[in-house]
Amino acid sequence: MSYIEIQTTQNIRLEYETASIGERFAAAVLDRLILYFWLMIWFLLIGTNHIGFSIWLTIIIYAPYLFYFLLCELLLNGQSPGKRIMSVRVAKIDGTVPSFGDYFLRWVFRLVDNAAVAIVCMMFTIRCQRLGDLAAKTCVVRTKSSTKLVKVPEVSPDYLVTYDTATLLSDRDAALIAQIISNPATLRNKVGLKKLANKVKTITRTSSNAHDYMYLRRILEDYQYLSGKLP
C-alpha cells in the first residue's frame, strides 16, 4: 500500500493511504447498481404508461447515466455515491486539488477503462491507478488521514480551562488540529503551523503569545474537556 501527501487549506500536508483494488471495485459496483436502478425505474415507467420514446425523454434518461461519474466527482469533491460509501475519493498524486480537466480526463478514459483493463492496470501500478488516473495524474485515496490522532491526556476534575470559547471549534476542526500536532513532519512546517494557529484564534476569538504548538495543544485539551461537560 502506498501513500500520498495532500495539502490542506492551512498549507499543512497530511498523509493519506491509497485505496485498495477491493475498495475501488466495491465502489464501482455500488455506482453501477445505482445507475442500473435509475434505468430500471424509467423502463418500468415507460412500459407501464406506454410512453413513446422521444429525443427529450432519451436525453433525460441517458444524460445522467452518461455523465454520472464526471458530475459526481466534480460536485462531490472527488467522490461518487459509491466512493462515499466506501470512504474513498479522487486526489492528485502531487497533493493538490483535482481540476475540472483532471475529472474530465478520468471520465473520457472510462471508454477504454473497462473492468478487466482497470483491474490489470491497478495491479501493476504502485498507487493502484487505472488508465484514467495515469492520464490525469490522480489516484483514489481513503478519506481518513493515516496520521494517528494525538491522545490528549485525561484532565482532572479540577482542570482549569484556558480558552472557554474552544467549543466554537467543530469536531472536524478538532480532528485536524489533533492530526497535525501529532505528526512530526507537519510540526516542522512552522509557516503552516502558524497559519493554522491564526485560523483557530479567529474561530475561537482567542489570543495567545504561547508557541503555536503549545497553543493548539492547550485549546484541544480545553475543547475535549468542555465538550465532555456539555449535555
**Max alpha carbon distance in the chain (Å)?**
75
Residue boundaries of the structural domains of the chain: 3-142, 166-229
pLDDT reported for residue 7: 59
What does the alpha-carbon distance between residue 198 and residue 92 come to, in Å, rounded to a whole number? 27
Q: What is the pLDDT of residues 171-181, one digit of tens each?
A: 778 888 887 88
pLDDT reported for residue 148: 45
CB neighbours of 87 closer than 8 A, spacing ≥ 6? Answer: 142, 143, 144
**8 Å CB contact between 222 and 163:** yes
CB neighbours of 150 closer than 8 A, spacing ≥ 6? Answer: 178, 179, 181, 182, 217, 220
DSSP classification of residue 162: S
Report which of 28, 116, 132 is spatially closest to residue 80, judged by C-alpha positions. 28
Q: What is the pLDDT of residues 99-129, one digit of tens each?
A: 999 999 999 999 888 888 999 999 999 889 9
Residue whose C-alpha cell is 480526463: 105
pLDDT reported for residue 83: 95
The secondary structure of the chain as a DSSP string is: --EEEEE-TTS-EEEEEBPPHHHHHHHHHHHHHHHHHHHHHHHHHHHHHTPPP-HHHHHHHHHHHHHHHHHHHHHTTS--HHHHHTTEEEEETTSSPP-HHHHHHHHHGGGT--HHHHHHHHHTSTT---HHHHHHTEEEEESS-SSPPP-PPPPPTTPPPS-TTGGGS-HHHHHHHHHHHT-HHHHT-HHHHHHHHHHHHHHHT----S-HHHHHHHHHHHHHHHHHH--
pLDDT reported for residue 59: 86
* Positions of the chain with pLDDT lower than 70, given as ranges: 1, 3, 5-14, 48-53, 144-157, 185, 228-231
